[in-house]
Structure 1
Amino acid sequence: MTAAADPVAPPDKPARRIPIVATLVVLAAVVGMVMLGLWQVRRMDEKAALLAHYAAAPGQPSVAWPVVPLRDGALLYRRSGGMCVEPTTWSARAGRNLAGESGWRHIVLCRTGAEGPGMAVDMGWSRDPKNPVGWTGGRVTGTIDADRDHVLLLVSDAAAPGLVPSLRPSPADIPNNHFAYAVQWFAFAAIALVIYAIALRRRG
């Protein structure tokens, strides 16, 4: 009588090996994205405090136009005034009027005295970028704003002849998007982990 043959045992499956280098790269990227998200959370709180400071600025007492140029934004949205002894250079920049219409803001650089940096004043808005003529200077009052280079300028309450007042600057126009940016970075980190986990599963 023939003995039954022993069944052949199936070969052992090789153990899955996690690629060390690729895993370290992915983890480093995830940590970096999480850190960026946490930084955005900190910036969100700082921006909220800054916006609260700006919101209170219009109700603060009027300040004299600074003799020394400032770029830290401490005086933004404060009421101020100064003497334009002599208008020197005009320029036109895109902007809006009080009605929200698009057009051109007319900025003039003023000499304020024998010394000092002078003063940049938004003297009003028009649909035509051609600079106005006929304004010879004088006392100007308005709200402190900053141009695209973060240089302070005064948005005048009263417009020069032939212009209408420009839209006054408001801290409400400054967004606080840092929470959305933080959520995006955390989402990117989670997505990277999910994609890498799927890649490892398919590799196995």
Structure 2
Amino acid sequence: MKLPLVPTIIVTVAIAVMIALGVWQLQRKAEKEALLDRYERAIDLPTIAWPETPDTDLLYRRATGFCIEPTSWRATAGQNREGEVGWQHIAACRAGGGEGPGMQAVMGWSRSPESPGGWEGGEVSGIITLDADHGLRLVSEDPAPGLAAVARPSAADIPNNHLLYAIQWFFFALAAGVIYVLALRRRLRG
């Protein structure tokens, strides 16, 4: 039996690529585990001042910043410390000398997305987390008046799905090989 050259090359290359992607996902799994471990240890490091420029190396560190005044509020979905779903309220603050990116401070939780009133700024102590729009945010340990405490950020909430992705790629490679062998057998019978 003579194998068809072009289809065999295409399937072989595809299987090799899928296996390489599976191996890459296994490497990513190890990298992600190291990153999550670093985040878990960060909570025990000494408290730092709110950084003037966003630095993801500071994620999950305890920090203290000063909100000169909230310039605006926004609400995003979130949970309180009891696990209830609602809205976390984030104040965009003028910080430091009033220059630079300022500070995004999660000041509490409520059932309503309506902006809270009454908090006019001050010292904020909490944990640094990612903010999709602004790089970093500070999740306040103590809520602003009229709000409940937000669920404490935890690196344990970050998924590490790389093992599942690797299994998928290896399965796809196996499936491609089985399908190709079945196609060759059918061709032989014909």
Q: Which category of TM-score, normalised to the shorter sequence, fits these structures?
A: over 0.9
Query: Could you report, residue by residue, the CA deviation over 1:20-50 in whole angstroms, capped at 9, with x for unpaired residues?
Result: 1111111111011011011101101111110
- The one-letter amino acid paired with 1:29 is A
Any gaps of 5 or more consecutive residues in structure 2? none
- The one-letter amino acid paired with 2:120 is T
Question: Which residue of structure 1 aligns with residue 123 of structure 2?
Answer: 139
Question: Which residue of structure 2 aligns with residue 82 of structure 1?
Answer: 65
Structure 2 contact 104–134 (Cα < 8 Å) conserved: no
What TM-score does the superposition give when structure 1 sets the normalisation length? 0.89
Question: Which residue of structure 2 aligns with residue 23 of structure 1?
Answer: 8
Question: Which residue of structure 1 aligns with residue 107 of structure 2?
Answer: 123
Query: Could you report, residue by residue, the CA deviation over 1:77-106 in whole angstroms, capped at 9, with x for unpaired residues?
Result: 110011111110100111111011110010
Partner secondary structure for residue 74 of structure 1:
helix
Residues in 2 aligned to 1:150 and 1:39: alpha-carbon distance in whole angstroms: 30
Identity of matched residues, % = 55
Select 2:47's aligned residue among 62, 80, 84.
62
What TM-score does the superposition give when structure 2 sets the normalisation length? 0.95
Residues in 1 aligned to 2:170 and 2:19: alpha-carbon distance in whole angstroms: 6
- The one-letter amino acid paired with 2:68 is V
Query: Could you report, residue by residue, the CA deviation over 1:60-88 in whole angstroms, capped at 9, with x for unpaired residues?
Result: 00011001223xx2111110011111110
Larger helix proportion of the pair: 2
- The one-letter amino acid paired with 1:96 is Q
Shift of 1:115: 2.2
Shift of 1:150: 6.5
Report how many residues are paired: 187
